[in-house]
Structure 1
Amino acid sequence: MAVEIATDSTFNQFLEKNDKVVVKYFANWCGSCRLFKPKFKRLSNDERFEGVTFLDVNAEENPEARKKAGVNNLPFFAVFKNGVLVEGVPTSKEDAVVELLGKL
């Protein structure tokens, strides 16, 4: 499954239409965010996470989506189940994101 781009205007629609969502919050200036991009794409194609929607959100351009997860550092990953925040974590470690996905 592809990683989709969400904005303040589309974020809630993604949460409403998808039971399980993982969001990567990033900024264009963030080197760790750029380095994680191929890992996030690979995870989105991992059969273990079939049925999970993967979203990218530019944290600087989308303050409403950022507030939903309480983003305090970048990159920041958050999982939502049935539109409700389950957990969020600032990390650049793939293992931490996999653990977070396990909470869905």
Structure 2
Amino acid sequence: MPVTPIETFDEFQKVINGETPAIIDFWAPWCAPCKLISPLFEKFSNRPENAGLGFYKIDTEANQRVMEEANVRTMPSFMVFKSGKKLGESPSAKT
């Protein structure tokens, strides 16, 4: 499944409240590590074993409200949501 951009707060709410586990990449255009990890996130999203997961990315510069709601402090940050609950997070890309 390709990575789907989330453009609005309403889209974010719909994704995190869904029944499908959603892995979200919080990134910013100025973030060099975000640019480095993006192709890996895309590759990971296309693996057959991950077919039951939703993969999304949010530009935090364009979605300040989402960034605040999700309490994003570093970029890139990755969070997993399902049915309105945060199941896990990684607050930065680890090399």
| TM-score, normalised with respect to structure 1 | 0.80
RMSD: 1.6
2:75 counterpart residue number: 74
2:89 counterpart residue number: 88
1:12 counterpart residue number: 13
Note the residue ranges of structure 1 that are not aligned, 5 or more in a row. Answer: 95-104
List structure 1 segments (4+ residues) > 6 angstroms apart after TM superposition. Answer: none
Structure 1 residue 30 corresponds to structure 2 residue 37: no
Q: Which has the higher contact order (CA 8 A, sep 6+)?
A: 2
Aligned length: 94
Distance in 2 between residues matched to 1:49 and 1:93, nearest whole Å:
21
Percent identity over paired residues: 28
Distance in 2 between residues matched to 1:26 and 1:83, nearest whole Å:
21
Q: What is the one-letter code of the residue matched to 2:93?
A: S
Deviation of the 1:89 alpha carbon: 1.8
Distance in 2 between residues matched to 1:86 and 1:60, nearest whole Å:
24
| TM-score, normalised with respect to structure 2 | 0.86
Deviation of the 1:3 alpha carbon: 0.3
Note the residue ranges of structure 2 that are not aligned, 5 or more in a row. Answer: none
